């Protein structure tokens, strides 16, 4: 009962958060490039709770749209073009929730304008863009360097930290990452279904690959198989709307990914966004007198990694078998120990720092970004540039294995890189 009450209270607070934070004198002024659907949830709502963040400007291709967006969200400045916003010297940082195919160009332009950048996932269209962006001379190790973060928000929520705490990474035998979005969510003209905007299910739900990389704490060695479902003409035939695949990881373990942007409701109900891990069998006890050994297989699942702030569950299941040594078939005893855990605050995972039960992953992500910009240590959770490059490499490997073209590389280059 108390957990039902907790769920209701948390979700009530998510939709009507208690108390907007008064802003600090040195608050960072953020601009948003594009009046995108995700911006209110991913940045505007968490910013309201952050004393050091002001959403100060928005730019959209259509001024009326930008004005309506600004009015709705009490944003002071409206710009007619994304570049005009970047030219404003009072803006410290930008959020880029543009279609994937425009991330690279506008992130580079923003960095060139000396803005910090929160860049929506997937940060780039492919590895070529990833290397050019994250190894850009505009990013240096000096304190004056702008900060660039790929918005893999789920990594910042305490539930993900809790999940990782249950794993014994070198001994993972198998992992599965599933992300299935119902077909009713996006219309066929959505940015996700356009090849020239770097659409595709493996791009949009690339969380599955990010999750597998996070679980193994390593990069996939090879894609063993990847199969996709593609649209047929007159829709964009270069776009995958669903996929599944198998990966080999350096410890010998296998990773499986399942993703869809066109899933039926029944499928989604059974499995929406879940990360599952099966460890290798481990001997936990030996009784030499009886000639017996006890082995354990640990299975861990994080249910709802994508929206963990609303609800999640970390199921830890330990399967024990006591058996005769040297005769695996002869089972003496079998039992299972199960535990369900949850983590909504930093305290729940033993990390110091302010946090609230109702904070979504986006708020934790924003905190990390602000800490980094302000030169503070923060919680230590971060998505590094190298991490983002490796993520792009894995997505490329997936498209290659599926026999599909890589998402198109932007022709935009910085003046310094044109030579």
Ligand X SMILES: NC(=O)C1=CN([C@@H]2O[C@H](COP(=O)(O)OP(=O)(O)OC[C@H]3O[C@@H](n4cnc5c(N)ncnc54)[C@H](OP(=O)(O)O)[C@@H]3O)[C@@H](O)[C@H]2O)C=CC1
Query: Which positions are catalytic?
Result: 121
DSSP label at residue 193: G
Say which entry of ligand X, ligand LJPVP2WV, none residue 392 contacts (CB below 5 to 8 A, set by partner kind). Answer: none
Binding mask 34-53 for ligand X (x = CB under 6 A): xxxxx---x-----------
DSSP label at residue 195: G
Q: Pick the stretch among 4-12, 28-36, 135-143, 377-385 that binds ligand X (CB under 6 A).
A: 28-36
Q: Which of 52, 105, 120, 396 binds ligand X (CB under 6 A)?
A: 120
Binding site for ligand LJPVP2WV (CB under 6 A): 181, 204, 306
DSSP label at residue 1: -
Buried b (16+ CB within 10 A) or exposed e, 88-102: beebbbbbbbbbbbb
Q: How far is the CB of 11 from ligand LJPVP2WV (least distance, A)?
A: 17
Q: Is 395 helix (H, G, I), strand (E, B) or coil?
A: helix
Binding mask 313-332 for ligand X (x = CB under 6 A): --------------------
Q: Which of 313, 233, 222 is nearest to 271 (CA)?
A: 313
Q: Cα–Cα distance between 12 and 240 in angstroms, integer?
A: 36
Report the residue number whose CB is nearest to ligand LJPVP2WV. Answer: 204
Q: Which of 60, 93, 113, 368 binds ligand X (CB under 6 A)?
A: 60
Task: Check if the beta carbon of residue 7 is closer than 8 Å to that of residue 351.
Answer: no
Q: Which of 274, 268, 203 is nearest to 239 (CA)?
A: 203
Residue that is written with structure tokens 């302000």 in the block: 374
User: According to CB under 6 A, which residues from 127 to 156 bind ligand X?
Assistant: 151, 153
Say which entry of ligand X, ligand LJPVP2WV, none residue 36 contacts (CB below 5 to 8 A, set by partner kind). Answer: ligand X
Q: Cα–Cα distance between 216 and 248 in angstroms, integer?
A: 10
Q: Which of 3, 24, 61, 376 binds ligand X (CB under 6 A)?
A: 61
Say which entry of ligand X, ligand LJPVP2WV, none residue 276 contacts (CB below 5 to 8 A, set by partner kind). Answer: none
Encoded tokens for 248:
């080999």
Q: What sign for the dihedral angle of Cα 192, 193, 199, 200? A: positive
Q: Pick the stretch among 9-17, 32-40, 221-229, 339-347 that binds ligand X (CB under 6 A).
A: 32-40
- Between the two ends of the chain, the Cα-to-Cα distance in Å is 65
Q: How far is the CB of 29 from ligand LJPVP2WV (least distance, A)?
A: 25
Task: Check if the beta carbon of residue 344 is closer than 8 Å to that of residue 158.
Answer: yes
Q: Cα–Cα distance between 309 and 332 in angstroms, integer?
A: 43
User: According to CB under 6 A, which residues from 78 to 107 bind ligand X?
Assistant: 97-100, 102
Q: How far is the CB of 99 from ligand LJPVP2WV (least distance, A)?
A: 11
Q: How far is the CB of 34 from ligand X (least distance, A)?
A: 3
Q: Where are the alpha helices (DSSP H) in 279-356?
A: none
Q: Which of 217, 152, 218, 136 is nearest to 388 (CA)?
A: 152
CA 414 vs CA 91, 110, 238: distances in Å: 21, 11, 28
Nearer to ligand LJPVP2WV by C-beta: 240 or 293?
Answer: 240
Q: Check binding of 32 to ligand X (CB under 6 A).
A: no
Q: How far is the CB of 36 from ligand LJPVP2WV (least distance, A)?
A: 10
Residues in contact with ligand X, counted by CB under 6 A, come to a total of 21
Nearer to ligand LJPVP2WV by C-beta: 136 or 361?
Answer: 361
Say which entry of ligand X, ligand LJPVP2WV, none residue 255 contacts (CB below 5 to 8 A, set by partner kind). Answer: none
Q: Cα–Cα distance between 399 and 106 in angstroms, integer?
A: 24
Q: Cα–Cα distance between 394 and 126 in angstroms, integer?
A: 9
Q: Cα–Cα distance between 203 and 241 in angstroms, integer?
A: 10
User: According to CB under 6 A, which residues from 196 to 235 bind ligand X?
Assistant: 204
Nearer to ligand LJPVP2WV by C-beta: 209 or 278?
Answer: 209
Q: How far is the CB of 90 from ligand LJPVP2WV (least distance, A)?
A: 30
Binding interface with ligand X (CB under 6 A): 34-38, 42, 60-62, 65, 97-100, 102, 120-121, 151, 153, 191, 204
């Amino acid at each position: 009962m108390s957990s039902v009450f907790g769920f209701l209270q948390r979700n009530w607070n998510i939709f009507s958060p208690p108390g907007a934070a008064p802003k600090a004198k040195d608050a960072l002024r953020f601009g948003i490039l594009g009046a995108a659907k995700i911006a209110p949830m991913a940045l505007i709502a968490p910013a309201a709770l952050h004393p050091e963040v002001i959403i100060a400007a928005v730019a959209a291709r259509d001024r009326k749209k930008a004005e309506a967006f600004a009015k709705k969200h009490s944003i002071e400045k409206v710009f007619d073009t994304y570049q005009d916003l970047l030219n404003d010297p009072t803006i410290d940082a930008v959020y880029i929730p543009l279609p994937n195919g425009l991330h690279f160009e506008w992130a580079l332009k923003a960095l060139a304008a000396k803005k910090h950048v929160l860049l929506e996932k997937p940060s780039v269209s492919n590895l070529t863009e990833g290397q050019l962006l994250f190894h850009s001379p505009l990013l240096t190790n000096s304190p004056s360097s702008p900060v660039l973060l790929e918005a893999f928000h789920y990594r910042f929520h305490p539930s993900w930290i809790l999940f990782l705490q249950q794993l014994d990474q070198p001994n993972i035998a198998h992992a599965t990452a599933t992300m299935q979005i119902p077909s009713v969510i996006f219309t066929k003209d959505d940015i996700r279904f356009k090849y020239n905007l770097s659409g595709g299910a493996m791009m949009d739900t690339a969380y599955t690959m990010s999750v597998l990389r996070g679980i193994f704490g390593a990069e996939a060695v090879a894609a063993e198989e990847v199969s996709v479902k593609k649209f047929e003409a007159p829709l964009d035939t270069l776009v995958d709307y669903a996929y599944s695949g198998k990966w080999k990881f350096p410890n010998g373990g296998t990773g499986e990914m399942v993703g869809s942007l066109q899933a039926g409701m029944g499928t989604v109900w059974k499995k929406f966004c879940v990360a599952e891990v099966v460890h290798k069998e481990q001997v936990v006890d030996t009784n030499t007198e009886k000639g017996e050994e006890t082995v354990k297989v640990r299975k861990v699942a994080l249910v709802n990694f994508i929206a963990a702030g609303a609800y999640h569950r970390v199921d830890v299941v330990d399967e024990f078998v006591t058996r005769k040594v040297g005769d695996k078939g002869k089972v003496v005893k079998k039992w299972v120990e199960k535990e369900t855990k949850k983590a909504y605050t930093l305290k729940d995972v033993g990390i110091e720092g302010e946090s609230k039960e109702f904070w979504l992953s986006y708020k934790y992500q924003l905190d990390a970004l602000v800490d980094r910009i302000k030169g503070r240590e923060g919680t230590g959770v971060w998505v590094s540039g190298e991490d983002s490059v490796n993520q792009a490499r894995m997505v490329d490997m997936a498209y290659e294995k599926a026999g599909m073209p890589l998402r198109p590389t932007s022709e935009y280059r910085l003046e310094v890189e044109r030579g």
